[in-house]
Structure 1
Amino acid sequence: MGTEERRAKVREMIAGIDGKRVDALMQGAVDLHVHSGPSIMDRQVDHFQAVEQAAAAGMKGILFKDHHYSVSPIIPIMERTLGHLDVAMFGGLVLNNSTGGFNPAVVDSILKHGARMIWMPTAHSANHIRTNFRKTRLAAKVQLRAPKLLTVLDDHGNIIDPVKEILDSIAESDAILSSGHLHVWEIWKLFEEAKARGVKRLIVNHPMYGLHFTHDDIREIAETYGALIEQSACLYIDSRFNVFEPEELAADIRAAGVENSSIGSDLGQVDNPTPVEGMRQAIALCLALGFTDDEVRQLVRDNPSRLVDIPLN
């Protein structure tokens, strides 16, 4: 089944879901994977619009992700102008070449600017480049320097020293470590080192897309390291990034267990649903797939809220 057929199937599945039921489940939802702008990648909403739309939908928090800079330093400005909307705003840093790669001083600085999440390399990870050598979904509007392929491991499969320093900083700040777009083998090694160094908050983004996970990996990493397994809505819903059958969302969530899973929109790109619409579609799809309201609430509100310390009302 091709992308258009899958998208049509999703539309058909969610058409029968009561919109008021979706509205209720959007209350208090937290999206830890928002790609708003400005950015050197094409975006349809800016950071301020993303917050305004989240507030209008009743959401309680969003975390901004850009592959080439950190939103963290401008969060205080956004809080001053948008704080009345009562949406918690978070930033972080992706360790691509354009942000310094594995530079412990840069990570230390951005954490002290209030960053809540540090992502391992995404577009510049060796795994991402090798996996997406024909076409990448992370193309910039401008030509960037050819990236150095980044991996957290040395030639013997051991975590390199700069990454160890970065993990120590993450632990000291009690920030969140995301596995980025590393290969599953790298992630096993990284999380083992991270836990040994006191990192308490771990997340894996879209494990079935580009990271070479199996369902056994999802379950075991969640159980062994207490990692939250985040599924990207854009890969399953009526999105141009749709690559999976809708039923696979249920299987991927059940592999880790609802108690260890969350859903982030991974949206904000042009010609796609907005992050809010993506979350609405994901909620409707989960309901169509047989998840209960309580399970969906755990996926989109409870689990991500706990990761960033948003109180549950």
Structure 2
Amino acid sequence: MADTQASYPTTVPLPPLSRAAEVAELLVGAIDLHCHSGPAAMPRILDHHEELLDAAEAKFRAVLFKDHFYAGMPHAILLEKLFPETNVKLFSGIVLNNASGGINPHAVDHTIKLGGKIVWMPTLSAANHIKAMAAGNKTFPKTSQKMLDPIPLSALDANGKLTDDTRKVIDLIAEADIILAGGHLPASELHILFDEATRRGVRKMMVNHPTYIVGCSDTDIRQLVAIGVKMEHSICMFIEGKSLKYSPDDLAHLIEVAGVDNTILSSDLGLQGSQRPVDGFRSITQILLDLQMPRPAIRKLISDNAARFLNLPVVQSAAQDAA
């Protein structure tokens, strides 16, 4: 694991790229499924409009905004309407934390009706997350102002079975054919959640940063992938910045464990002490090139696999896919 003890400025500049032209070419059509731009209760280094302009400059296809406290579809809808010349599709969804009523089928139903593309299980309000913070996890960003203490949430009842509301949420997601993301639930809960989601017809399932807070082992990853779950790794944890935790070799290993077709790289950026989200994509693409990852594989990791989750056509480029 990488050293995370260094002090960083509010925004970390993009480090020099040795293969900048190739990186720029590969980023055409990239998709970020996990962008933490603001406004937000947590300090952010850019807002949704600034992220849209960054993404447009790099010729991204789509960005999906995530906030731990609110559903971002209205922002996405209005920004896409106001700035159609960017040609960037904007999406969002809802995180089922306390602010949304917890694992709340009504909030999920509203999200779907407003065009939401993803439902995250609890993050900051997950009992697993609260336990990790109490145990001394110092790397997770904090809100600008003190919030009410979270009420711990789990997808399971006292008997270790999925709650009725969790099953209702799964059914709504299956009917709408949108993404079910595991949030910060522990690996033990994710197996139960995704097994049931598979039985109930959910086709788009994803584990967020499986090695951070969630606690997935290689065996967990292989077992979940075997039932159709994708692994989403947070770019911020592999590049220069406050959230750096893992090495390029760690990334290569995790991709190998799940397989390129089952892995999505999303920024999880916007937080202070880090690179801007699009710069994060530039940095991780340079790392993938340095790892001698084939170009078709890089395209899958930063674009194609995410496109399928958003029902966007996969666009192949002979130039980008050249060896």
Please say if 1:223 is aligned against 2:230: no
- Mapped pair 1:184 → 2:187: yes
Tell me the amino acid that sits aligned with residue 268 of structure 1: G
Q: Secondary structure at the match of 1:222?
A: helix
- The answer as to 2:299 corresponding to 1:297 is yes
Cα distance between partner residues in 2 of 1:82 and 1:25: 24
Amino acid corresponding to residue 102 of structure 1 in structure 2: I
State percent identity of aligned pairs. 37
The gaps in structure 1 that reach 5 residues or longer are: 8-13
- CA distances 1:51-74 after superposition (whole Å, capped 9, x unpaired): 111010011001000000011123
Q: Deviations over 1:83-132 (max 9, x none)?
A: 22111111100000011111211111121111100000001101111112
Paired with 1:276 and 1:167, the residues of 2 have a C-alpha distance of: 32
Q: 1:249-260 to 2 correspondence within 5 Å? A: 249-260=251-262
Contact in 2 for aligned 1:73/1:114 (Cα 8 Å):
no
Q: State the shift of 1:149 in Å.
A: 0.5
The runs of at least 4 aligned residues of structure 1 exceeding 6 Å deviation read none
Partner of 2:108: 107
Deviation at residue 75 of structure 1 after TM alignment: 2.4
Q: Secondary structure at the match of 1:234?
A: helix
| Greater displacement, 26-35 / 195-204 | 195-204
Contact 1:262 1:299 in 2 (8 A): yes
> What is residue 173 of structure 2 aligned with on the other side?
170
Q: C-alpha distance in 1, partners of 2:146/2:108? A: 25
Aligned to 1:11: none
Aligned amino acid, residue 251 of structure 1? H
**1:279-310 deviations in Å (ceiling 9; x for gaps):** 11011111112211111111001111111112
Letter matched to residue 222 of structure 1 = V
Residue 255 of structure 2 aligns to which amino acid in structure 1? I
Aligned to 1:277: 279
CA gap of 1:105–1:254, structure 2 versus 1, over 3 A, is same
How many residues align? The count is 306
Contact 1:65 1:93 in 2 (8 A): yes
Q: Distance in 2 between matches of 1:116 and 1:98?
A: 19
The structure in which a higher percent of residues are helix is 1
Q: SS in structure 2 opposite 1:118?
A: strand
Q: Is the 8 A contact 2:123 2:183 kept in 1?
A: yes
Q: What one-letter code is carried by the residue in structure 2 that aligns with 1:81? A: L
In 1, the alpha carbon distance for the partners of 2:102 and 2:116 equals: 16
Name the residue aligned to 1:116. Answer: 117
Q: Distance in 1 between matches of 2:140 and 2:4?
A: 15
**Secondary structure class of the residue paired with 2:83:** helix
Q: What runs of 5+ residues in structure 2 fail to find an aligned partner?
A: 9-14, 316-323
Preserved CA contact (<8 Å) 1:261 1:303: yes
- 1:273 deviation in Å? 0.3
Distance between the aligned counterparts of 2:226 and 2:83, measured in 1? 38
**3-state SS of the aligned residue for 1:91?**
strand
The alpha carbon displacement at 1:214 in A equals 0.8
Contact 1:26 1:58 in 2 (8 A): yes
Distance 1:144 1:132 in 2: 15
TM-score (norm: length of structure 1): 0.94
Alignment equivalent of 1:161, drawn from 156, 160, 164:
164
Q: 1:4, CA displacement in angstroms?
A: 6.0
User: 1:25 and 1:174, CA in 2 relative to 1: closer, same or farther beyond 3 A?
Assistant: same
Q: Deviations over 1:261-294 (max 9, x none)?
A: 0100100112210000001101111111221111
Instruction: Output the CA distance in 2 between the equivalents of 1:58 and 1:280.
Output: 12
1:116-157 deviations in whole A, cap 9, x for unaligned? Answer: 000000011011111121236131111111111000011221
8 A contact 2:77–2:90 mirrored in 1: no
The structural deviation recorded for 1:312 is 2.1
Matched residue of 2:299: which SS?
helix
